[in-house]
Structure 1
Amino acid sequence: MTTAPAEPLDVLVAGPVFFDVVFTGLPTAPRPGTEVWAQGMGTAPGGIANLAVPAARLGLRTGMAAGFGDDAYADWLWTVLAEQEGVDLSASRRYRHWHTSVTVSMASGRDRAMVTHGHPDPEPTGLLLAEAPAARAVVTELVPAGEAGGWWRPMAQAGTLVFADAAWDPSGAWDADLHERLDGCYAFTPNAAEALAYTRMADPAEAAQELAEHVPLVVVTLGGDGALAVEGGREVRVEPLDVDAIDATGAGDVFAAALVTGTLHGWPLEQRLRFATLCSGLAVQHFGGSLAAPGWGDIADWWDATVAAARTGEPAARATADRYEFLTDVLPGRALARVRRAEATIARLSDAQQGTTAPAAPTLRTR
């Protein structure tokens, strides 16, 4: 284990880590007895790293608790996460004679199939976090009824904000008694299908209002329809970003990391939702899950291009620039680091440097 952080983390995540191999642009799904060539391929840290990397790229002091093997895959994962992405691994552990779990994701059209090989972690997350580093926020998965969990509860009692994501229930039971399971959580972030299943309702907005009885903040992601949230009885809905999606792997995790970022910065709810939608929209234009996540440099580039298009009088760009005008205040002073994308190899570390900090951002304001 590495040395514990000298100051509290902004966010702590915990769970299994995977070595992901992503194939994109398959003309058809693979069939027995045939060979299919992919247009693109990338390797990236997966699993809980899909949350840790986006948070770190947005400038949060990010810690990750996970079990790592002793093979070459684990060497690469540890180095990329700790040295390249700046994720604190003091709560993680390496195990001898235990190999890294590997997932191969194959994208064809708008769908994908995955093949995974691995074994359960040698120790449960709770043991890794017996002396969890202090953090302002944690992101955790809502544990199905009857399973062990709740490592975050002592942290919640100490004031940590807990963001709970839903876990798909393959049994179809969808235990509706959420009060005990969400007790102590600050936010619950299911997708629309999960929200409807938990509440037995037919409308995502009604489901969000029902779930808001259990936590201060509910955010329901609506896929191609954007996202909606309920906080303090107030409902906010935002539209999606219009982008050409290549790979949606980890997009929900990028959304969650951006939501935590906006919350810790104290932004209004609508700005938090729009920022999370923007970050996930930028991520799906690349493949590789964690390494598709945008950094502040990507966000600054997008904002510059959007303002430039808006100044030509293009209506859609003008409407988008008006909705994201808050970036004019958010971007100045941010570190505009270049970030590495997934590559078709177990790549060397990125040679991308930290670069500069953002100057005054372009604006459409007339006041």
Structure 2
Amino acid sequence: MIFSIGDIMVDAYFRLPSLLTPRTDTVGRVDLVPGGSAANFAVWVARQGAPAAFIGRVGNDFLAEALRADLAAEGVRAYLARDEELGTGRVGVVVSEGGERDMICDRRANTRLCMADIPEDDLRELGTWLHVSGYALFEEEPREAARRAMDIALEAGIPVSVDPASYGFIRDIGVDRFLRLCRGAQVFLPNRDEAMALTDMSDPDDMLLALADVFPVVALKLGADGSAGLDRTGLGCYGGCSTGHSRGRFGSHSAGRSVGRSYGGSIVHASPVQVEAVDTNGAGDAFDAGFVVEYSSGGGLEAALMRGNAMGARVAAMHGAR
């Protein structure tokens, strides 16, 4: 069973045909839909036919009940702790022409995810993979919970993937601290902005080589340019991912792109699936789900990147993250 841990939200979508006109009304569309990066991941895993479980925290309100019902309908096993003080998280998503989005996050109960919320026995006994949303790493209690889940998984030999989630939060807590929080993760799934924030580089291949000094497998999401990856195990995760290691923060990679081959693998580029993007929110979560399902079932890096691209494109071509 593929577990994910992190945020669960109700997304309020504001779709604007044009820029807001100051001091008057703007005609648009507003929708309320289930969301949250880690919850989206779980749903897209389940929609591919793989067993999925989600660990998170909600409020004691009608939004929480709607989210519980939604996960059940999607076939996701939900471990949802209930917070009696803070309401269920919500986010405002402003979608402009072309599908680009800006988000206003009000995380509420997500900020109180704690170690007591982790179903430790089920994770050990049922888990085949753990995916961590970076949002769980940016505040103290969720950070402790996410690290506890990661430690349990690693001790049990369960592979761990991390999506860094937000380059702004990485900038706020600092690169070194963020990388320490990710220690032991075998698979790292950043987008271009997050990789740039972590490496201070702009070329995708250079970013991959730098991140491969820290993570055995890196899959870089490049939006309309598809994706690229590097598997330095050369074996695939079930053939030999290590459970912990680091050669230091971005150790020697200055020898150029051939460095990837010294790891037992080379950089792989996967072409994008051509669609008309109407809303990119959640496309990265769907990419993660496609990549993890393919890679965890024994598919190679290229197949995993291609499946991730297909899943991400599917979401970008529709309204909403699911």
Which TM-score band applies after superposition, normalised by the shorter structure? 0.7 to 0.9
Contact 1:100 1:118 in 2 (8 A): yes
Corresponding position: 1:93 with 2:125: no
> Separation in 2 of the partners of 1:73 and 1:180?
34
* Higher helix content, 1 or 2: 2
Tell me the amino acid that sits aligned with residue 3 of structure 2: L
SS at match of 1:249: coil
> Separation in 2 of the partners of 1:17 and 1:179?
23
> Separation in 1 of the partners of 2:174 and 2:110?
26
> Separation in 2 of the partners of 1:179 and 1:285?
33
Match of 1:156 in 2: 154
Aligned ranges for residues 1-367 of structure 1 at < 5 Å?
Answer: 10-24=1-15, 26-38=16-28, 40-47=29-36, 48-82=38-72, 84-89=73-78, 91-110=79-98, 111-117=100-106, 119-121=108-110, 123-129=112-118, 131=120, 133-134=122-123, 135-142=127-134, 143=137, 148=144, 149-151=146-148, 152-166=150-164, 167-170=166-169, 171=171, 174-176=174-176, 180-232=180-232, 233-289=265-321, 291=322
Match of 1:294 in 2: none
Moved over 6 A (4+): none
Offset from partner CA, 1:94-136 (integer Å, 9 cap, x none): 2335422222322121333334445244733422116252211
Offset from partner CA, 1:63-103 (integer Å, 9 cap, x none): 11111222222111111111x101101x2222335422222
Contact 2:167 2:193 in 1 (8 A): no
Match of 1:326 in 2: none
Deviation of 1:56 after TM superposition, in Å, equals 1.1
Deviation of 1:263 after TM superposition, in Å, equals 1.1
RMSD in angstroms over aligned alpha carbons? 2.4
How much identity, in percent, do the aligned residues show? 26
Tell me the amino acid that sits aligned with residue 14 of structure 2: F
Q: Gaps (5+ residues) in structure 1?
A: 1-9, 292-367
Q: Gaps (5+ residues) in structure 2?
A: 233-264
Which entry has the higher C-alpha Rg, 1 or 2? 1
> Separation in 2 of the partners of 1:22 and 1:178?
30
> Separation in 1 of the partners of 2:6 and 2:139?
18
Deviation of 1:144 after TM superposition, in Å, equals 5.7
> Separation in 2 of the partners of 1:14 and 1:46?
13
How many residues were matched structurally? Answer: 277
Deviation of 1:215 after TM superposition, in Å, equals 2.0
> Separation in 2 of the partners of 1:12 and 1:81?
13
